[in-house]
Every structure is written in C-alpha cells, then in structure tokens.
Copies of this chain bind each other. A is one copy, B any other.
Amino acid sequence: MAYRVIDIKESVYDDNDRQAAELRGELKKKGIFLLNIMSSPGSGKTTSLCATLERLRDEMKIAVMEADIDSDVDAATVEAAGAKAIQLHTGGMCHLDADMTRQGIEALGAEGMDLVILENIGNLICPAEFDTGAAKNAMILSVPEGDDKPLKYPYIFTTVDVLLISKIDVLPYFDFSIEKCAERVRKLNPNIRIIPISARTGEGMDQWCDWIREQVRAWKA
C-alpha cells in the first residue's frame, strides 16, 4: 500500500471563489488538469474511474484524490488500477471546497502530473455549491437512479461540463430513457456534453477518454 490517507481540515476562508480561482491559476501554470467528478453514492464513480485509468495510464501521468467521509476502499482500488492515489478523509463534511482540495493536492504531491482526478463526496447537493478550483467538472448519473434526477436535483446539472450516464448495461432492467434524461439536462444546461457509458461492457468509454484527452491537451496549450 503506497497511498496515503489524510484528514482534511475545515477551511478558514470565507472567500471560496477567490481561493478556487487562485488554485486553478497555479495548476494551469504547472500544466496540471484537475477534473472534479461528482455523483450520488453508488453511481459507479470508482468503477468508471478504474476503467478510465486502464485506458489512459500509458499516455499521461494521472493521480486520483478520493474524498470520503471514512474508509480507504476507493484509494486502494484506484491504486490497484495503476494511478497515484490519496484518500482524503473529510470527517463528517459533505463537500470539498477549494482550500480542502488544495490540502489534497499538496499532500498528494501533484508535480509532474498531467491529470488529477478528484472523486468528490457522493452527494448531489452540497459539492455542487463549492468551486473546488478544478479546470472542469463532471457528473456521473447511473441508470438505476432514474431519469427524473435533473428535475429533482437541478442545480448540480448547471455546474458541470460533462455528464456521464453510467451503468447503461442494465438499461433493460430499469425504466430509464436516455433521451428523456438528456432533454431534461439540456434544458438546465444547453452546452453540456452527455456521454452514456458502461464500465462493464466498455461502451462509451472511448468517447469519454477522448473528451479527457482533448481537455488535457487544451489546458496545456
């Protein structure tokens, strides 16, 4: 086990937007693309992440920050998939802000990385309210959660650049319409990129990895 586990301290800053802009600027200078991934608990973040690492680990240097209330299950899993990993314990906190993200980046040692992925806390409400300093924000919505989530948790859909609709291999067993979901999402966020994926069958993973490649290339340009 090489990954570290650190306890994130509550932020002392009340100007999170400025902290986030500063962090983003520093990461830009260093050519480190920080991607913030948000979702409900159990949407398949870690599984999707491992399938992503498998496809990208030979072409770029990737590190992962696993934010979690407790436990190290995720850091152990992503490390086994070949990424540098750190587990951030947030105590009871329900979101990460820019200062907490910075604590993670510093403890991780992100120098020389091309891509740092922040797996945010499983929660559709609080994480969406805080800019972490990430270059881009992604959200994963899994088929079993239902295509009505954009109606029920609208705000988060307005804050993300890309939406992965995950677990599409189980579409036959659930009442979930990708079209209906996409329509509801686009009403909230007309510019969002929507990519249906299955980490299990690999469907959509190429499109998703291409999206990441483009973003990392543009960030470093």
Which residues of A line the B interface, CB within 8 A? 40-42, 68-71, 73-74, 92, 94, 121-126, 129, 142, 144-146, 148-149, 151-155, 167, 170, 173-174
Task: Specify which chain B residues have a CB less than 8 angstroms from the CB of A71 in the assembled complex.
Answer: 148, 151-152, 154
- Expressed in whole angstroms, the Cα–Cα distance for A92 and B70 within the complex equals 25
Task: Specify which chain B residues have a CB less than 8 angstroms from the CB of A69 in the assembled complex.
Answer: 125, 152-155
- Do A124 and B122 have beta carbons less than 8 Å apart? yes
Interface SS of chain A: loop
- Do A155 and B92 have beta carbons less than 8 Å apart? yes
Output the least CB separation between A203 and chain B (Å).
15
Q: Report which of B129, B152, B174 forms a contact with A41, defined as CB distance below 8 A.
A: B152
- Do B149 and A42 have beta carbons less than 8 Å apart? yes
Task: Specify which chain B residues have a CB less than 8 angstroms from the CB of A124 in the assembled complex.
Answer: 41, 122-123
Contacts A69-B155, A173-B173 given; does A145 touch B41 at CB 8 Å: yes
Could you show 6 A-B contacts with beta carbons less than 8 Å apart?
A40-B122, A69-B155, A71-B148, A71-B151, A92-B155, A170-B170
- Do B94 and A125 have beta carbons less than 8 Å apart? yes
Task: Specify which chain B residues have a CB less than 8 angstroms from the CB of A70 in the assembled complex.
Answer: 151-154
Output the least CB separation between A47 and chain B (Å).
9
Output the least CB separation between A83 and chain B (Å).
19
Task: Specify which chain B residues have a CB less than 8 angstroms from the CB of A154 in the assembled complex.
Answer: 69-71
- Do A170 and B144 have beta carbons less than 8 Å apart? yes
Q: Report which of B73, B151, B153 forms a contact with A122, defined as CB distance below 8 A.
A: B153
Output the least CB separation between A28 and chain B (Å).
29
- Do A144 and B167 have beta carbons less than 8 Å apart? yes
Task: Specify which chain B residues have a CB less than 8 angstroms from the CB of A174 in the assembled complex.
Answer: 170
- Do A125 and B129 have beta carbons less than 8 Å apart? no
Q: Report which of B68, B74, B144, B148 forms a contact with A73, defined as CB distance below 8 A.
A: B148
List 14 extra interface pairs beyond A94-B123, A122-B153, A142-B144, CB under 8 A. A40-B145, A41-B124, A41-B149, A42-B142, A42-B145, A42-B149, A69-B154, A70-B154, A73-B152, A92-B125, A125-B126, A144-B144, A144-B145, A144-B170
